Amino acid sequence: MSGLRMALVATGVAITLPAFVIGAEVVSSLGAVDGVIAVLLAGLVLAVIASLMMLIAARTRLGIARILAQAFGLDGAKWVAAFIALTLLGWFGVTLSLFGQACADASVAILGWAWPGWIYQLIGGALMISITVNGFAAMDLLSRLVVPALMIMLLIGAWLVLTNYSVRDIVSIRPGANSGLADIPSAISALVGGYMVGVTISPDYARYARSTRDGVLGAVLSFGLGYQLVLLLSGLPALVLGSNDFVANISGVGMGVSALFIVVFATLTTNVANLYSTSLGVAQSFPGLPDWLITVCLGLLGIFGALLGIMDYFVKFLLFLGIAVPPVCGICLAEYFGRARVLKPDQVLNPPAKGLRVTALMAWLLASAVVFIAQHFQFSLLGVYALDAVCLGALLYLVFSRFAVRGQS
């Protein structure tokens, strides 16, 4: 698969309601200039880390579950993969909940249909499961068809804004004061931390890259360009209209029924990817079960959680997971690059160790705990909590591994 096709898949994951919400929040809270700076710097951080992760996958042809096994051992990787799968399943339910409410609101405003949100959750969830059952090929086809159309519609929304407001008017709009994103560092931390899970699971599709160059190109075009465009294009209407309600904003600039199209297909591409990676992670722990059965059961569980509304209480837990996942990414990078395992494209990593590698587990838990405490006291060494977690996880893993080698000798 070419870098462009991989970028379409990854950007399809980024085009979703939570991204629209955070894009609107950042731009409306910081203003046009500071908002653009925060988005671009966050994209730079994500693109660098994603490039390294996708380079590993392109060279080894391994998904994230197999890469985890190199650092955590076969048994340890199952637990970590299950942990990441829980995170993705949580986001599947949260996004599906937002989808149902957004569809209900948009249908009333645009079409006059007063259907409850749970109907849209059932229909949307069933469609997401049916597409995911067909595997990566279905994800690839969906992204190639939908992502360009979604980007065009977001660009049209931005163009409609610019026809009524000059660049000088937009720059002069004072940012809102009702957000916790008070400055550029806090916005970068929110943007990077909110999408670090997507970076961590990027090997699941980067393993299909035509070459390592395509893997890196896919990372740069998606995490360094596509994701940033989504944030900025969704933030521009929010800035001029003074609202973070994406459906209302996109309708307010004159797009009408297009708002419903964006809500439906943006959520579809993202949740299909969430369910796909969730299924891969759980399949590591239950290798005897058919893939389709795992996908269906997990999808039904996500729908059930969305219908019950329990995902509303799951958000704080997901924010904690946003701190706990980045160290895993750092440990994988340290295992591959720091332990001198840079291989040729036609090679694979050495067979992973059986059982659990304690050094990786200790590095993961300690890095997560330290960053969690640091965030509580609002202290960050690099200005971005997720980046702190990546670097600390990698450093601790290398240190613990060095001591383990000395102890064996």
The pLDDT assigned to 390 comes to: 92
Q: Which of 3, 4, 1, 277 is nearest to 148 (CA)?
A: 4
Higher pLDDT, 153 or 49: 49
179 found inside a domain: yes
248 found inside a domain: yes
In angstroms, rounded to a whole number, what is the distance separating the alpha carbons of residues 392 and 409?
Answer: 26
The percent of residues above 70 in pLDDT, for the chain, comes to 83
Mean pLDDT in residue range 168-183: 69
Q: How many residues does the structure list for the chain?
A: 409
Concatenate the DSSP letters of all residues of 279-347 into one string. Answer: HHHHHHH-TTS-HHHHHHHHHHHHHHHHHHTGGGGTHHHHHHHHHHHHHHHHHHHIIIIITT----TT-
Concatenate the DSSP letters of all residues of 23-54 into one string. Answer: HHHHHHHH-HHHHHHHHHHHHHHHHHHHHHHH
- At 182, which CATH number? 1.10.4160.10
Higher pLDDT, 136 or 220: 220
Sign of the dihedral through C-alpha 351, 219, 21, 180: positive
Mean pLDDT in residue range 147-158: 78
Band (pLDDT 50/70/90 cuts) for residue 4 is: confident
Helix axes 64-106, 315-333, angle to 10 degrees: 150
The pLDDT assigned to 316 comes to: 66
Sign of the dihedral through C-alpha 231, 237, 242, 243: negative
12 found inside a domain: yes
Placement of tokens 């709009």 in the chain:
173
398 found inside a domain: no
Sign of the dihedral through C-alpha 235, 238, 242, 244: negative
Band (pLDDT 50/70/90 cuts) for residue 395 is: very high
The pLDDT assigned to 146 comes to: 73
Is residue 84's pLDDT more than 80?
A: yes
Higher pLDDT, 193 or 377: 377
Higher pLDDT, 54 or 256: 54
Domain that holds residue 266: 3-314
Cβ contact 364:330 at 8 Å: no
Band (pLDDT 50/70/90 cuts) for residue 391 is: very high
The pLDDT assigned to 409 comes to: 41
In angstroms, rounded to a whole number, what is the distance separating the alpha carbons of residues 122 and 327?
Answer: 35
The percent of residues above 90 in pLDDT, for the chain, comes to 14
The pLDDT assigned to 357 comes to: 86
Mean pLDDT in residue range 210-230: 88
In angstroms, rounded to a whole number, what is the distance separating the alpha carbons of residues 285 and 327?
Answer: 21
State both tokens at 123. 């229909």
pLDDT in tens, 267-278: 777 788 888 888
Mean pLDDT in residue range 160-180: 72
In angstroms, rounded to a whole number, what is the distance separating the alpha carbons of residues 191 and 218?
Answer: 19
Quick count: other Cβ atoms within 10 Å of Cβ 254? 13
Mean pLDDT in residue range 357-368: 92
Question: What is the count of structural domains for the chain?
Answer: 1
The pLDDT assigned to 246 comes to: 66
Cβ contact 197:229 at 8 Å: no
Is residue 406's pLDDT more than 80?
A: no
Is residue 111's pLDDT more than 80?
A: no
Q: What is the mean pLDDT of the chain?
A: 80
Residue 116, classified by CB atoms within 10 Å of its CB into exposed (0-12), middle (13-18) or buried (19+), is exposed
Q: Which of 147, 128, 125 is nearest to 9 (CA)?
A: 147
Mean pLDDT in residue range 16-22: 74
Q: Cα-flanking dihedrals φ and ψ of residue 243, to 5°?
A: -140, 145
In angstroms, rounded to a whole number, what is the distance separating the alpha carbons of residues 140 and 379?
Answer: 41
Q: Cα-flanking dihedrals φ and ψ of residue 210, to 5°?
A: -65, -30
The pLDDT assigned to 230 comes to: 82
Residue 111 Cα distances to 105, 108, 257, 260, 336, angstroms: 10, 6, 8, 10, 53
Is residue 285's pLDDT more than 80?
A: no
**Single-letter residue type at 25:** E
pLDDT in tens, 308-360: 876 666 656 656 766 888 899 999 999 888 764 544 444 445 556 677 888 99
Lowest average pLDDT, out of 147-161, 297-311, 313-327, goes to: 313-327
DSSP 263: H
Is residue 407's pLDDT more than 60?
A: no
Placement of tokens 């048994």 in the chain:
75
356 found inside a domain: no
In angstroms, rounded to a whole number, what is the distance separating the alpha carbons of residues 88 and 93?
Answer: 9
